[in-house]
Structure 1
Amino acid sequence: MPFDRRKVRGISLAVLLTVATSVTGLTNQAAADTMTQLNAARIVADMGAGWNLGNQMEANSNGIPSETAWGQPTITQALVDKVKAAGFKTIRIPVSYLGHIGPGPNYTINSAWLNRIQQVVNYAYNRGMQVLINMHGDGYKTINGAWLICDAANQTAIRDKYQKVWQQIATRFANYDQRLILESMNENFDGQWGAPTQPCYSNINSYNQIFVDTVRRAGGNNPSRWLLVPGWNTNIDYTAGNYGFVVPTDRYRSPSIPGNEKRIMISVHYYDPWDFAGEENTRITQWGRASTNPAKKSTWGQEDHLDRQLKKMYDKFVTQGYPVVVGEYGAIDKAFADSANPRYRADYVRAVAATAKKYGAAAVYWDNGYTGQYGFGMIDRRTLAVTQQGMINAIMSGTAG
């Protein structure tokens, strides 16, 4: 979904974080690939139920990323422990780089920012969780300093910068095992709603190919690491349909991977129907076959639509050995307008998790840290109180099948 729909309502963008420089965990020295090989079914099973640490490491103030810029507190080990205790096995950590990237030709990432990214990764990784990190906001036209723009004229310079930034990230995390998954970008498109355009889609495909080649050649365990790539705006139809998406060629992968197995995953997001899941209105507050008031239910996007959409991904990719990750899904809180809304939110997330499981995909709930009106949040990041236990129970139930 578009970037500005995720922002917490009424927050200030003026607060900057003094980034921590102490880092725990593994070193970034290159080493031989010693990764335990996990096939597609095993990696999805290991991921289990997923949770997004949204509106933190991708937050920014005037193009400078800062984890507190959008009103959230500093990320702590205690928060990650609470997420794990709730039953989640995977944490996706959206990350923006933006103004923390230095000038060319080296495009050096600010060391304090990269250290802090690694420290947050380690909060989950050192607890045995699966971790996804990506390049999240650098491709949004609405963000000051965004540069990964698929319809910009200077594609040669963009590709050079993209390659050098991912080289640094992949090198930093080279020795992490299969529990770390790297994701090339987030919701990249030309900013115009509607069918994909060229050459913008071809440029997105090029970024994905550069990402795969760069990570694979960065040493350590990267030659056999699972890598996650999206199509146009992580849209299911524009990824699975005949619109121009190309799965990257994995030409530098480890020879230890069996020839018929893949190490590339396909990323999509799911917020259908948007008028229930994300639109800030009081009209559509119910979802699914159990809804009691037709006037409060969207005219589309119910269980049959969900099944068809994820089946498209199964038929196109899972059957060919490419796991699918629904990297974001969720529904905002409208309980203030309809006391029954929590029930339908729970029905929705249970259905997404269960349908993903049915079609061999992993699903990662979008938690933006905001637990009030129109928020996606399920855990208060200041008090660590679980505010939506019913939804968490529903996710765990759906993930269990």
Structure 2
Amino acid sequence: MQVTEHRNRRRIALITTAVAALAAGLGVVLPAVAQSAESCEVDYQVKSEWDGGFTADVDVTNLGEDVKGWKLKWSIPAEQDFTHAWNASVKASDGQATAKNVKHNKTIAAGETTRFGFTGTTSDGNTVPTEFTLNGEACTVASDEPSAELTAMETVAAMQPGFNLGNSLDAIPDETSWGNAPIDQELVQEVKNEGFNSLRLPVTWDEHQGEGPDYAIDPAYLDRVEEVVNWALEADLYVMVNTHHDSWIWQADMKTNREEILARNEAVWTAIAERFKDYPPELVFEGINEPQFYDATDEEKYQYLDELNKQVHGVIRASGGGNAERLVVLPTLHTSGDQVPVEELTQTFTDLNDPNVAATIHFYGFWPFAMNLAGSPTFDQVTKDNIHETFDNVHEAFVENDIPVIIGEYSLLGGNVEGKVERGEILKFLEYAGYYAREAGLTTMLWDCVPGYDRPGLQFRDAEYWGMYQAAWTTRSGTAETDQVFIEKSGEITDETVTLELNGLEFEGLRHGDTQLTEGTDYTISGSELTIKASLLTLLLGDREYGKKADLHADFSAGQPWRISLISYDTPTIANATGAADTFAIPTEWKGDTMKTMQAVYTDDGSNAGPIEWTSWKEWGEGFKPDYAANKLDLGSKFFNDVQEDRQVKLTLYYWSGATHTYYVTESGGTVTGTTG
């Protein structure tokens, strides 16, 4: 494989030492400033290379006084950039690289060394730097030494970004049971062609494991798993194999069936380890997917997971061959990034004392936002803070302690249901979460909910979603407060202002399709305030019939353009209605508007009504669902199953235009009466 062919650690010969020796021999007295070269030493190590990219480690040794806050700089080719870094913030600008300390390694004491690393991209070979400065002072450069294998941190960095081939070998009972065609080599190669560097291969073994006491794995099924692994390696992908839905099918029964579970788990991993023990290190093993345990206390759950994690690790290591040092990826309970599950896994790693391990969590976004419930229909600060909290938590617990982290399943959970989360809000989530994962040094592996991969067509179904996700691998994208501008059909057309989120970028222009619009005539820009002129709106709104009339695109100096849809609307109208509880719907003339969210409370005391009793804000698709084609807002059985009979419920309906309505419903004897007042 290409990656392994280039595992050479390249260190540059010390130039400054030779110069100093020559000067001494000639009796030349060097200026005192030359002593600054002795204040630091840099050991720059290229760990792996492939067509268009490489990973490197950099050791910085402080030979002078304590350094409190540092920046290391070196020259790079103009086309070189950095996509992923750990233990430092690494940026490229105008042919110069700058690595800046992060919080945990701000100070380098005299005589101490700090290490950081990164993944880089280059289009014309990889020139190794020969000069470095630390806080403006020149550093010496370490001499050549033998090559070394990738560390766990470097391996996980090289796996960024990753892709899941889910709902295939993890499907029950067989590979095609959940609607996907069998995995073929073309599909695996296309994953690589799309820019991914690793493939997570979820595998459910349950249906392919025999009875005790041997619990033998079907050799033909192992052959099939091996076939897909081989395709991935041939495509120059890292590949990560796990035990997937086994977690809830049988591994979850540890409390009531511990000995059998341990025997089955040992048999599965013995078979996997034996089959793949001579494979290269680009094959990675992941233990249990989303571990959970039935009828157990929290303390017991952590105990069971610790036991299973250590068993998986022990079986793999004992099998020898490449498995003696292969990267082993272990999960937190429920693959959660919360503090307690993370702390418990930290203790497991401490006990194992193994440098070739990694942690894994899953991340599908802040639950209320991902499901559009509890009053969280927008990508707001609460949702953003959830990203911060989760990613900072695993970074501080693991990455800062040289244990890499893989977000083994990464997406927005509700984003695969049309309309559940508004399109622009999904895009803002993808942009920010991808950026912050990169900043935290976490490798992401997309579970194809958003943007959704069309396997027969070998392409992503939605180029806009895909573009936003992909851009976050290397840069920021510009976004805005909204991707929708609603203009009342019955009102006068006036200038409309949208606040941009520049994210450190520069606004480069506004266009309609391929037509560049004219600043000052079609729009104005003042800081982050983009104002679309009434004259342009009049032209694009045309007949002003209800619905989306045009799309504009804001372009930025990097990343994905931001689409702004112009929508002609009037406030929706709703009507009284009577119907069966399991099919009840509010008659609605949508008039170009769309549904945002809904609240439900009892009118007699203001308490929460309907499904999910802890919040008055109902879930899109569960408590309410708009049907735009049929001109109705469905409530249905899922709503009235949780409403008390003969108690009036006040519904507050919120629309994306900003309009609201109040509506009242009462269910009695299976019949619902709905009124506007």
TM-score tier after normalising by the smaller chain length: 0.7 to 0.9
SS of 1:187 mapped into structure 2: coil
Whether contact under 8 Å (2:187, 2:455) holds in the other structure is yes
Letter in 2 for 1:103: E
Matching residue of 2:446:
365
Deviation, 1:301, is 4.8
Matching residue of 1:169:
272
CA change 1:354–1:41 in 2 (3 A) is farther
Whether contact under 8 Å (2:332, 2:344) holds in the other structure is no
Matching residue of 1:381:
455
Whether contact under 8 Å (1:139, 1:148) holds in the other structure is yes
Matching residue of 1:205:
306
Letter in 2 for 1:397: A
The equivalent position to 2:215 in structure 1, one of 107, 115, 118, is 107
SS of 2:247 mapped into structure 1: coil
Whether contact under 8 Å (1:335, 1:342) holds in the other structure is no
Deviation, 1:56, is 1.0
**5+ residue gaps in structure 1?**
1-34, 141-145, 254-261, 285-293, 368-374
Structure number with higher relative contact order (C-alpha < 8 Å, ≥ 6 residues apart): 1
Matching residue of 1:394:
468
Matches within 5 A, 1:2-401: 37-60=149-172, 64=173, 66-140=174-248, 146-190=249-293, 197-237=298-338, 238-241=340-343, 246-247=348-349, 249-250=351-352, 262-277=355-370, 279=371, 296-297=377-378, 301-331=382-412, 332-333=414-415, 336-337=418-419, 341-367=422-448, 375-376=449-450, 378-401=452-475
Letter in 2 for 1:323: P
SS of 1:152 mapped into structure 2: helix
Deviation, 1:350, is 3.0
Whether contact under 8 Å (2:407, 2:443) holds in the other structure is yes
Q: Which has the larger radius of gyration?
A: 2
Letter in 1 for 2:161: A
Q: Deviations over 1:224-281 (max 9, x none)?
A: 1111001110011142246996227447x6xxxxxxxx1110010111212443x3x6
CA change 1:183–1:335 in 2 (3 A) is closer
Give, in whole Å, the separation in 2 of the partners of 1:42 and 1:297.
36
Deviation, 1:178, is 1.8
Deviation, 1:316, is 0.8
CA change 1:300–1:107 in 2 (3 A) is farther
Give, in whole Å, the separation in 1 of the partners of 2:149 and 2:187.
30
Deviation, 1:329, is 1.5
SS of 1:236 mapped into structure 2: coil
Whether contact under 8 Å (2:203, 2:243) holds in the other structure is yes
Give the alignment's Cα RMSD to 1 decimal: 2.7
Q: Which has the higher helix share?
A: 1
Structure 2 length-normalised TM: 0.45
Give, in whole Å, the separation in 2 of the partners of 1:337 and 1:323.
36
Whether contact under 8 Å (1:40, 1:322) holds in the other structure is yes
SS of 2:299 mapped into structure 1: coil
Whether contact under 8 Å (2:164, 2:445) holds in the other structure is yes
Deviation, 1:320, is 1.3
Whether contact under 8 Å (1:187, 1:230) holds in the other structure is yes
Letter in 2 for 1:317: F
CA change 1:300–1:54 in 2 (3 A) is farther
Deviation, 1:44, is 2.6
Give, in whole Å, the separation in 1 of the partners of 2:350 and 2:207.
28
CA change 1:364–1:191 in 2 (3 A) is farther
Deviation, 1:116, is 0.8
Deviation, 1:198, is 2.5
SS of 1:268 mapped into structure 2: strand
Give, in whole Å, the separation in 2 of the partners of 1:46 and 1:133.
17
Whether contact under 8 Å (2:239, 2:282) holds in the other structure is yes
Q: Deviations over 1:66-125 (max 9, x none)?
A: 111011111111111222111111111111001211112221101111111111112211
SS of 2:298 mapped into structure 1: coil
Letter in 2 for 1:271: Y
Q: Which has the higher strand share?
A: 2
Deviation, 1:190, is 2.5
**5+ residue gaps in structure 2?**
1-146, 476-677
Q: Deviations over 1:1-45 (max 9, x none)?
A: xxxxxxxxxxxxxxxxxxxxxxxxxxxxxxxxxx96212432132
Give, in whole Å, the separation in 1 of the partners of 2:294 and 2:212.
26
Give, in whole Å, the separation in 2 of the partners of 1:327 and 1:364.
5
Whether contact under 8 Å (1:95, 1:136) holds in the other structure is yes
Give, in whole Å, the separation in 1 of the partners of 2:232 and 2:386.
34
Whether contact under 8 Å (2:453, 2:460) holds in the other structure is yes
Aligned residues: 327
SS of 2:349 mapped into structure 1: coil
